[in-house]
A and B are shown apart, each in its own frame.
Chain A
């Protein structure tokens, strides 16, 4: 089933993805989106929630796709796994990408499957040569199957490996150079990881290979204030925090404007609240664009 190309429906041109911030698409918003057609740059879906051959997910995706630009975010390919990619799953993902024709397909620098079981979480990888070789091989395979450049997202992490012999940023830079993949810069993940490893998130942004960034994610996190070591948890169930907004502003000043998503997965607010967060991002983007014109 190839979805009707949006151009023939008089739907927004691809510039809506470039210019206006998008939000995560969730089933509880389907009807309101179709009834109200809120102004939003695009919707992002998790690939694994839209692979059914029938039912509401497929049906509403097709309806909403006729009016909006889309991005697809994979959460189950397990690029960082030390076993080969699941070919059947890869094939299903390729079909979805073919059907939806998204602006972007992105995945994570993480692993989530082991020995044919799926752990439903994004688990960390060590930053060493063996992991880099494996991750690059998997990205090559994914890009050649999808016949497009993919974006890889920087992870949120809660510990560092002794065996890592390079920084996360060096690993990501090498991965980008070797595979030609782009990057999805998740600014909440930067805030979470830097807090957890007691490093400076502004330094992280300054060192990040900004030219390769094709999309930005903004999300909320929670704080676990235990007495041994306080940790920030990448929960996606709260509004974007002030720290993340400040870091976002700094990022745009450093690397320039980028398509942006408000990512929300839990404790879902009304659609209008997410829309307001998207507008807040749009205001920051407009302000930075204006400032850069005057420089």
Chain B
């Protein structure tokens, strides 16, 4: 019977009303609609909580209409409601009415990745002193293997989504008016203490971090790019609490 109930929630199908006590079809519909409304509103609210900047960018009315359309086809797979919406970014990219905001899907993707990271287990990073000690103890720093936290992710977008995200997150620090939305951006997603955070990085830095994540030595990871500053990039990795282990590569 729960199947018939479930079907009635998502289709305007009155067949299920025969199960319900009531004086009239109107009364039965009103009673059943409390559940339908609870399910729809709570799932739309959940998406609004999970994708707050996506909602800000298109406005509440548009967002809720889009969320309603999404939930018709995509129900949560898990009772852990913050996990809902894993396919929302792809849905938005294909959603005809949102095509005028071409970067919206990427923003949703970023929000979902950051929320997932926030709830991921933490790894203890090395302190500045510990990293310095590892460098001081080696005869050849170029051969060092610098391991990064499993919570490190690189994301590439064709749009300036990192800057848009930060402008909405910390409105005073960056102005949207000077932003060229069509600039592609490399983003570093990581975890500091118990929260996920995001940094806009250069293409060379992204390449450097990706190579470290592939267990390349420091020397192998340094990109062939004159503008790349190895010392400054390492300092950022320490400051962002990404380094969990430094060791010498096996000879």
Instruction: Give A contacts to B, CB under 8 Å.
Output: 48-49, 51-57, 59, 75-78, 81-83, 86, 89, 111-121, 123-124, 126, 158-163, 196, 224, 226, 228-229, 231, 233
Flag if B81 contacts A161 (CB, 8 Å).
no
Asked, given contacts A111-B2, A114-B6, whether A55 binds B75 with beta carbons under 8 Å apart, the answer is no
For window 1-42 of B, CB contacts with A under 8 Å fall at 1-3, 5-6, 9, 18-24, 26-28, 30-32, 34-35, 38-39, 42
Contact check, B119 vs A53: say whether CB atoms are below 8 A apart. yes
- Known contacts: A82-B1, A82-B2, A231-B30. The answer to whether A117 contacts B76 by CB under 8 A is yes
B79:A112 contact, CB within 8 angstroms: yes
Are B121 and A115 within 8 A (Cβ)? Answer: no
Smallest distance from the beta carbon of B251 to chain A beta carbons, Å?
36
Given contacts A89-B79, A119-B6, A226-B30, 5 further A-B contacts (CB under 8 A): A114-B5, A120-B43, A160-B21, A162-B21, A228-B26
CB distance from B235 to the nearest CB of A (A): 26
Q: How far is the CB of A121 from chain B (nearest CB, A)?
A: 4
A230–B82 Cα distance when bound, in Å, is 33
Please determine whether A118 and B1 come into contact, CB atoms closer than 8 angstroms.
no
A118 — nearest CB in chain B belongs to which residue?
A: B76
**Interfacial chain A residues near B5, Cβ < 8 Å:** 114, 123
Select from chain B the residue with minimum beta-carbon distance to A89: B79
- Return B19 CB to nearest CB of chain A, in Å: 6
Q: Please, which residues of chain A bring their CB within 8 A of the CB of B38?
A: 121
Asked whether A56 lies within 8 Å of B30 as measured between CB atoms, the reply is no
Interface residue? B102 (CB, 8 A): no
State whether A118 touches B3 (Cβ < 8 A): no
CB <8 Å contact, A56 and B118: yes
Are A120 and B39 touching (Cβ within 8 A)?
yes
When A111-B2, A161-B21, A162-B21 are in contact, do A55 and B30 touch as well, CB less than 8 Å? Answer: no
Least CB distance from B205 to A in Å reads 25
- Distance in Å from the Cβ of A216 to the closest Cβ of chain B? 23
- The answer, among A57, A76, A115, A126, for a CB contact under 8 Å with B6, is A115
Report A-chain residues with C-beta under 8 Å of the C-beta of B79. 48, 75-78, 86, 89, 112-113, 118
Bound complex: CA A13 to CA B67 (Å)? 46
Expressed in whole angstroms, the Cα–Cα distance for A54 and B75 within the complex equals 25
Give the A-B pair count, Cβ closer than 8 A: 119
- Asked whether, in the complex, the Cβ of A54 is within 8 Å of the Cβ of B194, the reply is yes
A162-B78 in contact given A115-B3, A126-B1, A229-B27 (Cβ < 8 Å): no
* B204 within 8 Å of A (CB atoms): no
- 0/1 per residue, B70-91, Cβ < 8 Å to A? 0000011111111000000000
Residues B75 and A117 in contact, CB atoms below 8 Å apart:
yes
Given contacts A114-B2, A119-B39, A158 and B78 within 8 Å (CB-CB):
no
**B195 beta carbon closer than 8 Å to chain A:** yes
CB distance A59 to B75 under 8 Å? no
- Residue among A114, A124, A159 having the largest count of chain B Cβ atoms under 10 Å: A159
A76 to B1 alpha-carbon distance, docked (Å): 19
25 of the cross-chain contacts (CB-CB < 8 Å) are A49-B82, A52-B119, A53-B119, A53-B120, A54-B118, A54-B120, A54-B121, A54-B122, A55-B118, A57-B119, A76-B80, A78-B79, A82-B2, A82-B3, A89-B79, A113-B79, A117-B75, A120-B42, A158-B35, A159-B20, A159-B21, A159-B32, A229-B22, A229-B23, A233-B34
CA distance in complex: A123, B22 (Å) = 18
Residues in chain A near residue B18, CB distance under 8 A: 162
B6, B9, B19, B76: the one within 8 Å of A161 (CB)? B19
B46 within 8 A of partner (CB): yes
Distance in Å: Cβ of A79 to nearest Cβ of chain B:
12
A123 x B76 contact (CB < 8 A): no
Contacts of B31 in A (CB 8 A): 158-159, 196, 229, 231
> Which of these, A49, A55, A118, A159, contacts B194 with CB under 8 Å?
A55
Contact check, A118 vs B35: say whether CB atoms are below 8 A apart. no
- In whole angstroms, what is the CA distance A238 to B9 when docked? 26
A-side contacts of B27, CB under 8 Å? 228-229
* B3 close to A56 (CB less than 8 A): no
User: What residues of chain A lie closer than 8 Å to B3, measured between beta carbons?
Assistant: 82, 114-115
What separation, in Å, do the CA atoms of A158 and B32 have in the docked complex? Answer: 7
CB distance from A109 to the nearest CB of B (A): 14
Find chain A residues with CB under 8 A from B42 CB: 120-121
Residues of B within 8 A of A120 (CB): 39, 42-43, 46, 76, 81
User: Nearest-CB distance from A63 to chain B (Å)?
Assistant: 11
Chain B residues near A119 (CB-CB < 8 A): 6, 9, 39, 75-76
Q: A56: which B residues are within 8 A, CB to CB?
A: 118, 194-195
> Known interface pairs A48-B79, A120-B43, A159-B31. Does A228 touch B24 (Cβ–Cβ under 8 Å)?
yes
